[in-house]
Amino acid sequence: MLYYLFDYLKELPGAGLFQFQTFRAALAIIVSLLVSLVFGGKFIEFLRSLQVKETVRDLGLAGEKQKQGTPTMGGIIILTAILIPTLLFAKLSNIYIILLLIVTLWMGAIGFMDDYIKVFKKDKKGLRGRTKIVGQVGLGLIVGCIMYWNSDVYVRKDISKHPDQQTYCDNYYPNASYCNVQKLQGEEGDFKMVVDYNAPVTNVPFLKSYQFDYRSVLIFLGEGYQKWAFLIYIPVVIFIITAVSNAANLTDGMDGLATGVSAIIMTCLGIFAYLSGNLIVSDYLNIMYLPNAGEMLVFAAAFIGACTGFLWYNAYPAQVFMGDTGSLTLGGIIATLAIAVRKELLIPVLCGIFVVENLSVMMQVSYFKYTRKKYGEGRRIFLMSPLHHHFQKKGIHESKIVVRFWIVGLLLAVLTFVTLKLR
């Protein structure tokens, strides 16, 4: 909202600063920190007054008794600290900001219902797994449809040196939901031909000039196969959003673990958003230029500030837990932003902590069922899953495990960022 106010008052000294995404991102991270710190303390007291407490299962882990009675549903603090700066400093007409706001509210609502049932209805199972999956699939369907069909979501490519400029769309992007060749004036007064197109394409890590087109999977269908690409692209988006949000939920098992890892991941994605939305830098790095994508930097900054501020209360020993309200939302936002900047193929690396935590549970459950059927008794790969509890069972202190996971997450983020040049 302030962006539009200062755009109207652009004659005032300093008002022009609000035109810069980096300036608004800096304000967003400051405000989100302040909101989470100031609002967080009061909200925790409010939760205590309502006796909104976490019921910790007896898993035989160190420190479990200390956690009994700790307020939960602290994810509301994170959501508030994300939404307020975004509404204040972002371009609310930007399709990417609208998309991220939808994801935040949608996943926040699913997580809130889950926590509400656990706390107030005294049902430890919370929201039925099938209902939760339906909600995640519904969100994935919305995100996939917007990314696939919305004309404001597109890639811009310089085709000035291409020999077949005028028929570029027909030859290279037939059946694209949006494709337009136009002549633009550059900063130095020169003219160039560009093509704006919306097609299900993404960057492939480690390869210099190759972009993966989801439509190529359907080439066996013959002529006109491109128009059926949504049958591949949208299920992939649904899978990514569901998988990452659930993986973030599994990671939220120690004080500050999911919060810190999410902040590290979003820092990398925020940089990607800014680079992808910058014409000069994207051309230099040979990555897709996504007009208007740089605005997501403001949202990413608010996300980082919210997580960092929440750590003030969530670091060991935690004064509040985020609950599913926070963890499901963090995972959904991360997945959506990765898809929006066309970096979803980097998720296994960037979100490596989430992936390993998820895999540890799948491996543990699968192996237990297999050995129980084969030997009559279930056996385990890990002392306990998710993986962070395995190390806790080995006697490593919780705070040390969390910091080590942060360090690994930071290394994975650096590796992900390095893929921009290692191609």
Whether 53 has a pLDDT exceeding 80, the answer reads: no
Q: Which residue has the tokens 């990607």?
A: 272
The answer to whether 382 and 356 are in contact (CB under 8 A) is: no
Tell me, yes or no, whether 408 and 387 share the same domain: yes
What's the confidence (pLDDT) of residue 63?
A: 59
Query: Measuring CA to CA, how many Å separate 379 from each of 57, 369, 376?
Result: 21, 8, 10
Tell me, yes or no, whether 146 and 268 share the same domain: yes
Tell me, yes or no, whether 129 and 99 share the same domain: yes
Could you read off the pLDDT of 341-389 as tens digits, one per residue?
Answer: 999 999 999 999 999 999 999 999 999 999 998 888 889 999 998 999 9
The answer to whether 114 and 57 are in contact (CB under 8 A) is: no
Whether 60 has a pLDDT exceeding 70, the answer reads: no
Find the mean pLDDT for residues 163-167: 73
Whether 70 has a pLDDT exceeding 90, the answer reads: no
Tell me, yes or no, whether 136 and 261 share the same domain: yes
Tell me, yes or no, whether 219 and 248 share the same domain: no
Tell me, yes or no, whether 204 and 239 share the same domain: no
| pTM (predicted TM-score) | 0.93
Tokens of 22: 């980096």
CA torsion 409→72→49→30, rounded to 10°? Answer: 30
Polymer length in residues for the chain:
423
What is the distance between the terminal CA atoms of the chain, rounded to a whole angstrom? 40
Whether 58 has a pLDDT exceeding 60, the answer reads: no
Tell me, yes or no, whether 249 and 267 share the same domain: yes
Tokens of 67: 């956690």
Tell me, yes or no, whether 183 and 286 share the same domain: no
The answer to whether 346 and 205 are in contact (CB under 8 A) is: yes
Could you read off the pLDDT of 107-118 as tens digits, one per residue?
Answer: 999 999 999 998
Tell me, yes or no, whether 159 and 236 share the same domain: no
**DSSP secondary structure, 202-220, as one string:** EE-TT-SS-EEEGGGGGGG
Tokens of 402: 């969390």
Q: Structural domain tally of the chain?
A: 2
Could you read off the pLDDT of 285-305 as tens digits, one per residue?
Answer: 888 899 999 999 999 999 999
Express as a percent the part of the chain with pLDDT over 90: 57
Residue 18 lies in a domain: no
Could you read off the pLDDT of 388-403 as tens digits, one per residue?
Answer: 999 999 989 999 999 9
Q: Tell me the pLDDT band of 186, cut-offs 50, 70 and 90.
A: low
Phi-psi region of 284 (alpha: psi -120 to 50; beta: other; left: phi over 0): alpha
Domain range for 185 is 155-224
Tell me, yes or no, whether 31 and 118 share the same domain: yes
